Structures are given as structure tokens and as C-alpha cells.
Amino acid sequence: MAVADRYLAPGWFTRAVFNPAVAFLTRHGVSILGSRVLAVRGRTSGAWRTTPVNLLEYDGRRYLVSPRGHGQWVRNLRAAGTGELRVGKRVEVFRSRELTDDEKVPVLRAYLTRWRVEAGAFFDGVRPDAGDERFRAIAPNHPAFEVLSST
């Protein structure tokens, strides 16, 4: 598998307990550290696909980062270019812009700083205080999108 195609599938606990619990709370209006339910149209089926994500607010902008790599939501968002972020009954329609690897460096550092306990294991041993070159080296493994207004 090429580096750019890397994806680390969630284990049983994450799939069966953690993600459903976070999604349930978020769907009912309780955002945990910025959690949202991301809804994106499937690139083949056109059906809505949902997954819990962490919305990072950094330097006056908002980002979605995939700590596990190039999963289905990433592929769907690339194809659709737009989606919805949901918390309870609030739905925000957005468009996205994928970041270049160089643009990802400060965003990945901020993401790792905020969610190190939850997502640190997926960053190849890189810590928030690592140098830019370490983040640049892992950037291809972690797609990141800027969340933009839909208008």
C-alpha cells in the first residue's frame, strides 16, 4: 500500500462503542471537544454517509483532519467537495478545500495537540512538539480539509 493510500481501520471498541457513543451524543446536540457528525454523499451511490469527526478551529479557520488516513469519508469528500456538519438539529452545509502537505503542518500539530489522547497513536510517534520536518513527513498520511462557507 502506498503511503498516500494508508488507512488504519478502527478496532472493535472504536467501531462498536466509542464512535457510536460520540455520534449519538452529537446527534442529540452534545458536542464533545468539537465533535460533529459529518454527512457526505457517497461517491458511487449518492447516498448520505455519516461519521463522527473532530472539527478543529485553528487560527480563525476550521478544519477536518483524518488521523487514520485515506478512509471512505475522505474519498467521498474529495469527490463531492461539499457536505454537512451536524450537531443535534443544527446542520451546517459547507464546501471544502483539501490542504497541501505544506499547509497541513501547523494544522496537524494543532490537531494532535488538541486530540493527542484520542488520536496520537495514528501519528507515527510524532508528538505535538516535533519539528516541522517530522510533520511534513507524515502529512501525506493525514488528509486535511478546510471547512468553507457554502455561499
pLDDT tens figures, 137-146 = 999 999 999 9
Residue 3 lies in a domain: no
Residue 137 lies in a domain: no
Alpha helices in 35-143 (DSSP H): 72-80, 101-119, 132-138
Q: 15: domain CATH number?
A: 2.30.110.10
β-bridge partners, 35:
54
Q: What is the DSSP letter of 142?
A: S
Residue 118: count other Cβ atoms within 10 Å of its Cβ.
15
Alpha helices in the chain (DSSP H): 12-13, 19-27, 72-80, 101-119, 132-138
Residue 73 lies in a domain: yes
Task: Write the single-letter amino acid at 22.
Answer: V
Residue 124 lies in a domain: no
Domain that holds residue 36: 9-101+143-149
Residue 85 lies in a domain: yes
Task: Report the pLDDT averaged over residues 38-56.
Answer: 95
Do residues 65 and 118 make contact, with C-beta atoms less than 8 angstroms apart?
no
Residue 48 lies in a domain: yes
Number of structural domains (the chain) is 1
3-state helix, strand, coil in the chain (%, to 5): 40, 30, 30
The owner of cell 456538519 is 85
Provide the pLDDT for residue 1. 36
Backbone angles phi, psi at 123, to 5 degrees: -105, 30
Residue 41 lies in a domain: yes
Give the span between the Cα atoms of 138 and 3, in whole angstroms: 9
Residue 132 lies in a domain: no
86 pLDDT band, cuts 50/70/90, is very high
Share the mean pLDDT of the chain: 89
